[in-house]
């Protein structure tokens, strides 16, 4: 920490909280909030969500005996205050850096993180699993799952609640309702929570009944409970949570320590064999005016000035891939009214906010519901529309069955715009786009493309508008392009045809995706050693450019494939093609460069690609080693 604090300096672990009184807990909360703001201003990361749960975090660790009691944070965006209070405050300025703290909860990082979370809506399912394990082991530990109002919109959360209600197992679920997830929450759940909140008559009557009950002996308590259940039903018309088997309490001011503590203590101590839902109202960005006023710009931030709220802007003048996608799609949509955009709660992250501003009636944010997003797109496609489902690679994994069953099998022309392909830096392995080449290229009836630069991305979007007989996908990385001129929206690719970027001899490199620039840099290294490779931008992993592959396989001694993905992708398909045509029986050497068989922790993207062995020096070394060269290249730091 860079500052001395009266209370936070004395807090190393949650057990230290027990020494404070309520007024001191409030002052501690202010210090935790200040430390979090200062730390994230230096590291960047998720700001608004954590600021909204400072008091809740303090109260939870004060009431419960963590780590014996299990506290599970959904997604992990809001876990920074939790990390500060659980032995990691001295490392908080290493957030999202190489060898530093993860931006999410992580089991290997701390015993206070019982479950790793970086994709949303998992806390109730995992919490219920832990609670039932405790029940089977005859343990009495409490299990608390914190889930946001955005995350609870996902189907997985409802599946978990349904199971929890039927299980007769005690689990405490905290619904953190801030009326704002990454983007403004959508769907019926938002209206439902607002309806509960507006039912003030229910709460005033409930408090009146409690006062009456308290005047009588405890022998009336059972009947009183039934009276309260009746009141819930009569005044609110019944609640979803009660009908699913939860005992519902709330809403409660999530920034009021005095209100939180007794409710949490009662939930901890009550002998209730079933799930408990505590509805807590919080304000995202609480305590930092710039974040409070922000729409979604302070959900995830770059480094910023604490006093002005001004975030560091990219110094690059090159356009981001995301904006290139969005702007190109807008131009096509101006000419084609059948084009619609779909996002799963990530409008700004995918560029669909830009599309939505231009075509508000043709952009659909379905909430954190990737499965629904894909089948919704499939339904649109059956009626002749051209849906573009813009979903991060890592999040599309959640909808794989829908991609297979509802799209691929039916050959429906859904267009998948796959953002964040490859390694993504500070968000680490949970957000890396490592597997989409493999899991899409294995499917019949798919066209799978990867852009080597922003100009190629435009051409792939252009091409996708005419693919009406099957699904297609084009992938592109996070960040900015390389600065090439963009083509017009009329320039299209021939399906399944690659391009020769550089002609050489003996060695051919087949690049698929955004490592083309590194491949060209590797070529410069090799040329100094007297080796000039042929370099091909494959463009398509499916269908393959079989004629081009046949040609280079017969004209070269070594064929090397390169892709930002796992085993089973582009290189595997090339290998199968060569094997089927007996091209490997000749004197051809074949090698493929893919991501290593491990998850790569967060770091700067260039460092992650070095670890993955996909920087220019690694590419050159791979070729030299295959040629049995004894040349050793010097790696630069």
Place of tokens 């993180």: 113
Q: Can you spell out the DSSP letters for 453-511? A: SHHHHHHHHHHHTT--SS-EEEE--SSB---PPPPPTT--PPTT--EEEE--SEEEEEE
Q: What does the pLDDT look like over 125-184, one tens digit per residue?
A: 999 999 999 999 999 899 999 998 888 888 899 899 999 999 989 999 999 988 654 445
CA–CA dist 588, 547 (Å, integer): 17
Q: What is the model's pTM?
A: 0.86
For the chain, give every domain's residue range: 8-191+241-297, 321-475, 499-626
Asked if 66 contacts 112 with a C-beta cutoff of 8 angstroms, the reply is yes
- 169-173, 180-184, 436-440, 530-534, range with the lowest pLDDT: 180-184
On average, the pLDDT of the chain sits at 87
How far apart are alpha carbons 592 and 333 in whole angstroms?
39
Q: Does residue 558 or residue 304 have the better pLDDT?
A: 558
pLDDT at 338: 98
Written out in words, the top-level CATH class of the domain with range 8-191+241-297 is alpha beta
Residue 267 structure tokens = 């939930």
Known catalytic residues? 284, 370, 398
Look at the domain 321-475 and name its fold: Rossmann fold (3.40.50)
Distance CA 25, CA 56 (A): 11
Separation CA 619–CA 616 (nearest Å): 5
Structural tokens at position 608 = 């992650």
Domains 321-475 and 499-626 share a fold: yes
- What is residue 633's predicted lDDT score, i.e. its pLDDT? 60
Q: What is the pLDDT, as a whole number, of residue 188?
A: 53
Contact 131, 143 (CB under 8 A): yes
> How far is the CA of 137 from the CAs of 130, 336, 367, in angstroms?
10, 61, 37
Instruction: Answer for the pair 451, 513: CB distance below 8 angstroms, yes or no.
Output: yes
Q: What is the pLDDT of residue 491?
A: 97
Question: 279 vs 128, 196, 319, 372, 571, CA distance in Å?
Answer: 18, 10, 42, 26, 50
pLDDT the model gives residue 544 = 97
Q: How many CA atoms lie within 13 Å of 138's alpha carbon, on the beta-carbon side?
A: 0
Give the residue carrying structure tokens 């405490």. Answer: 172
3-state helix, strand, coil in the chain (%, to 5): 45, 15, 40
Using alpha carbons only, what angle is made at residue 614 by residues 395 and 302, rounded to the nearest 5 degrees? 50
Given a contact cutoff of 8 angstroms between Cβ atoms, the answer to whether 463 and 492 are in contact is yes
CATH fold for the domain made of 499-626:
Rossmann fold (3.40.50)
């Amino acid at each position: 920490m860079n500052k001395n604090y009266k209370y936070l300096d004395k807090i190393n672990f949650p057990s230290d909280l027990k020494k404070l009184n309520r007024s001191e807990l409030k002052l501690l909360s202010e210090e935790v909030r200040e430390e979090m703001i200062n730390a994230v201003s230096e590291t960047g990361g998720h700001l608004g969500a954590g600021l909204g749960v400072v008091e809740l975090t303090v109260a939870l660790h004060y009431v419960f005996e963590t780590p014996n009691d299990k506290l599970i944070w959904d997604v992990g965006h809001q876990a920074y205050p939790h990390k500060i209070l659980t032995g990691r405050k001295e490392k908080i300025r290493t957030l999202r850096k190489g060898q530093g703290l993860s931006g999410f909860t992580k089991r290997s990082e701390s015993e206070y993180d019982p479950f790793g979370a970086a994709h949303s809506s998992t806390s109730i399912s995992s919490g219920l699993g832990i609670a039932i394990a405790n029940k089977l082991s005859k343990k009495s530990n409490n299990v608390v799952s914190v889930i946001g109002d955005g995350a609870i919109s996902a189907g997985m959360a409802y599946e978990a609640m349904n199971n929890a209600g039927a299980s007769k197992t005690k689990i405490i679920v905290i619904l953190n309702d801030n009326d704002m997830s990454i983007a403004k929450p959508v769907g019926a759940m938002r209206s439902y929570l607002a309806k509960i909140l507006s039912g003030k008559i229910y709460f005033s009557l409930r408090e009146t009944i409690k006062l009456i009950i308290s005047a009588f002996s405890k022998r009336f308590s059972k009947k009183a409970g039934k009276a309260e259940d009746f009141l819930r039903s009569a005044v609110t018309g019944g609640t979803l949570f009660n009908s699913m088997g939860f005992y519902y309490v709330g809403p409660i001011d999530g920034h009021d320590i005095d209100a939180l503590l007794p409710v949490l203590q009662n939930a901890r101590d009550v002998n209730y064999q079933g799930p408990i839902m505590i509805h807590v109202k919080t304000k995202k960005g609480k305590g930092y005016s710039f974040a409070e006023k922000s729409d979604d710009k302070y959900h995830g931030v770059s480094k910023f000035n604490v006093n002005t709220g001004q975030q560091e802007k990219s110094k690059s003048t090159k356009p981001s891939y995301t904006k290139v996608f969005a702007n190109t799609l807008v131009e096509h949509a101006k000419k084609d009214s059948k084009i619609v955009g779909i996002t799963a709660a990530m409008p700004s992250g995918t560029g669909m906010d830009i599309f939505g501003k231009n075509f508000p009636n043709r952009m659909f944010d379905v909430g954190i519901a990737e499965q629904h997003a894909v089948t919704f797109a499939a339904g649109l496609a059956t009626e002749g529309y051209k849906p573009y489902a813009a979903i991060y690679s890592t999040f599309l994994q959640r909808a794989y069955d829908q991609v297979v069953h509802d799209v691929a099998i039916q050959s429906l022309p859904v267009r998948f715009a796959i953002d964040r392909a490859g390694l993504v830096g500070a968000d680490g392995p949970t957000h890396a786009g490592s597997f989409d080449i493999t899991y899409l290229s294995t499917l019949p009836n798919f066209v799978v493309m990867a852009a080597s630069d922003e100009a190629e991305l435009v051409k792939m979007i252009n091409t996708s508008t005419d693919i009406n007989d099957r699904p297609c996908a084009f992938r592109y990385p996070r960040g900015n392009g390389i600065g090439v001129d963009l083509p017009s929206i009329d320039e299209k690719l021939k399906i399944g045809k690659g391009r020769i970027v550089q002609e050489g001899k003996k060695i051919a490199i087949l690049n698929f995706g955004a490592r083309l620039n590194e491949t060209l840099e590797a070529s410069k290294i090799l040329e100094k050693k007297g080796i000039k490779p042929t370099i091909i931008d494959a463009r398509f992993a499916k269908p393959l450019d079989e004629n081009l592959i046949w040609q280079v396989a017969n004209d070269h001694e070594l064929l090397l494939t390169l892709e930002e993905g796992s085993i089973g992708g582009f290189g595997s398909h090339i290998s199968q093609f060569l094997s089927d045509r007996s091209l490997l029986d000749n004197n051809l050497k074949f090698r493929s460069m893919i991501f290593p068989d491990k998850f790569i922790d967060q770091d700067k993207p260039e460092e992650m690609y070095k670890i993955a062995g996909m920087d220019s020096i690694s590419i050159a070394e791979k070729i030299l080693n295959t040629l049995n060269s004894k040349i050793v290249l010097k790696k630069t730091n």
